[in-house]
Structure 1
Amino acid sequence: MSKDRMWEQLNERVAEMIYAFPGIAGCSVKSMVDGNSLAVNGDVEFPIASTMKIPILLQLLMRDENGELDINELVEITPEMIYPGSGVISYLEGPVKLSILDIAILMIIVSDNTSTNLCIDYAGIEQTNDMLRALGVDNITLRRKMQDTESVIANRENVGTPDDCVLLLEHLYNGRPSKKSAERCLSVLRKTKKSLLNRVIPPDVPLANKPGGMAQVRCDAGIVYLSRYPYAVSIQTSFAEIGPEEQENYMVELGLMIHSVMSTLDSSNDYGQGISLLNRVA
């Protein structure tokens, strides 16, 4: 079928870009409609920085659904709880009380490190990994909190593969581990944020994602809700020999190439006939 050849050609184009990256790069893409997929270095482990916050959020929501915590419980944020790079929370004045859900939202939309480490406390490192393994997501592992320099030096890194980031997103799209928690998780991930994929995807196309970045590392993973052909994508880099801006521009270029093909598939039948203008073409 012609559509399958489009995927084969895209895989070749993605591979060319991945292997040209000055460092290590990986990419995985999967249609949420027909199961077509591609991966280049999809099974390589990368540090996934703040993209790790997707499973942390999901585990929090599952614990709330199971009655193990109340996500609407208010938590008082004290000065000793604030971590470096904590963003919004560190600028608030006076006593601050936020619900666990609002703390989780800050973790996602502004990558607030105080929020993230509180969420890890409530989700549990071991429990989050157990949840992932129960889903068959074997290659995403939470090992440490944010800003834990000693753990970074000791190689206790939060890691994931492009393939398993896409697998986790596919589970969420299909309502797993539960429809309620998956929908709530995706609702938070769809909130507006600054990200690499936001530079790729037009504003009128819904996007549920979480980017991440550290020294020599960039990543983003999300579901792009094209009307007929939604897809999940994860792009990751490490050991970068170029600066942060060049890394991000590279990932945006790769993302634009992928999205161009996905958009074409979205607006075509399986043989390549465009359908978006059929009502206006004789």
Structure 2
Amino acid sequence: MPLAEELQALIAAFPGEVGIVLENLATGERFSYQETRPFPAASTIKLPMLCYALSTGADLEQKISIRPETVGLGTGILKELSPGLALPLRDILTLMIVVSDNTATNVVLDFFGHKEPFNAYYQAQGWRETHTAGMLSLPEDRPDPKREKGDFSRTSARDQAAILKALWWGELPQARTALDILSRQQFTSFLRYIPVDLDDLEEGTTPLKLYSKSGEIRCCRHDAGILAKGDRAVVMAVLTESESDPRFHPDHPAVLLIGRIAAVVYRHWLG
């Protein structure tokens, strides 16, 4: 069955909305579906945030204190550590991506002057559907005073794919640093039906490499990344929104969809 037909069947069976961009960087072959539809970004907003932070030329070895105002709930480890910790900016950016640390994300936002410079950068890059609303997962008794009521961080499959392509082709500052951090991601749905796992990638026992950032909140499951094998590479950006199952579990319909889409791409373009 042609790639597009397989993908359309998967989309039709999914109980919700999907935004997709898939591109074979070796051949230029491309598939998209609702690519400009804005979705709540969840943790995929950390990908453009990483790019902005690296674009500033800030010293990655300078130590930054974890202020109490930035400690958030949800994913990450910094919230569990002792107060007064200070880490190099490089480590904070790494935590923001590889374990999707919400507190690290808030530290980055706070350090660079909150949302305004980030959003200006996104627009200057042409990432039109991407927007940072403010700090992530702060408790109700300690809200972000700069976050507008009802605002939320958002992005599109088109923007996520554009960011990844720009990094792959070295068109953004410190692209190699960004890709190195993305290659150490500890959460992904892309590998579910592909014959490798995160240990294989870390140990280098597979010819495949993955550079990615996932994200999830109650209504959304997303994954965006580059899967590479030798001189071939494919961009995959899959964003979903559904009210069919609010639970966080490994067999969520959107998690399975993302894995199945990646398997189709792998079989047609990298297998």
Whether TM exceeds 0.5 here: the answer is yes
Residue from 100, 111, 114 that aligns with 1:122:
111
TM-score, normalised to structure 2's length? 0.84
Deviations for 1:26-72, whole angstroms, at most 9, x for unmatched residues? 211011223211101222111121111011111111112xxxx3221
Q: C-alpha displacement at 1:78, in angstroms?
A: 4.2
Q: 2:238 aligned to 235, 238, 242, which one?
A: 235
1:61 paired to 2:64: no
Instruction: Report the Cα distance in structure 1 between the residues aligned to 2:179 and 2:89, rounded to whole angstroms.
Output: 17
Q: List aligned pairs for 1:103-252, cutoff 5 A.
A: 103-123=92-112, 124-147=114-137, 154-178=149-173, 181-201=174-194, 202=196, 203=200, 204=206, 205-242=208-245, 243-244=247-248, 245-246=251-252, 247-252=254-259
Q: 1:169 to 1:87 in 2, by over 3 A?
A: closer
**Alpha-carbon separation, structure 1, partners of 2:20 and 2:156:** 9
d(CA) in 1 for partners of 2:69, 2:39: 31
Determine what percentage of the aligned residue pairs are the same residue. Answer: 25
Further displaced range: 134-143 or 108-117: 134-143
Give distance in 1, aligned partners of 2:149 and 2:242: 17
- Aligned residue for 1:230, secondary structure, equals strand
The structure carrying a bigger helix percent of its residues is 1
How many Å apart are 1:86 and its aligned residue? 5.6
Equivalent position amino acid for 2:88 in 1 = S
Q: Which secondary structure does the structure 2 equivalent of 1:142 belong to? A: coil
- How far apart, CA to CA, are the structure 1 residues paired with 2:155 and 2:76? 25
In structure 1, the partner of 2:266 is 259
Return the letter of the residue paired with 1:167. A
> Is the counterpart of residue 33 in structure 1 residue 26 in structure 2?
yes
Note if contact 1:24-1:240 (Cα within 8 Å) is conserved in structure 2: no
**Superposed displacement of residue 80, structure 1:** 4.5
Task: Please give the per-residue CA displacement for 1:2-30, whole angstroms capped at 9, x wherever unaligned.
Answer: xxxx8xx2122212211221111121101
RMSD over equivalenced CA pairs, Å: 2.3
Question: In the alignment, residue 136 of structure 2 is paired with which amino acid?
Answer: M
1:159 is matched by which residue type in structure 2?
Answer: R
CA contact (8 A) 2:66 2:107 kept: no
- CA 1:95–1:216: 2 relative to 1, 3 Å: same
* Cα drift, residue 164 of structure 1: 1.7
Any unmatched runs of 5+ in structure 1? Answer: 1-5, 265-282
Q: Secondary structure at the match of 1:134?
A: helix
Moved more, 20-29 or 242-251: 242-251
Paired residue for 2:86, among 72, 97, 100? 97
**In the alignment, residue 8 of structure 2 is paired with which amino acid?**
A
SS in structure 2 of the partner of residue 199 of structure 1: coil
Q: Structure 2: any 5+ residue segments left out of the alignment?
A: 201-205
Which structure has the larger Rg? 1
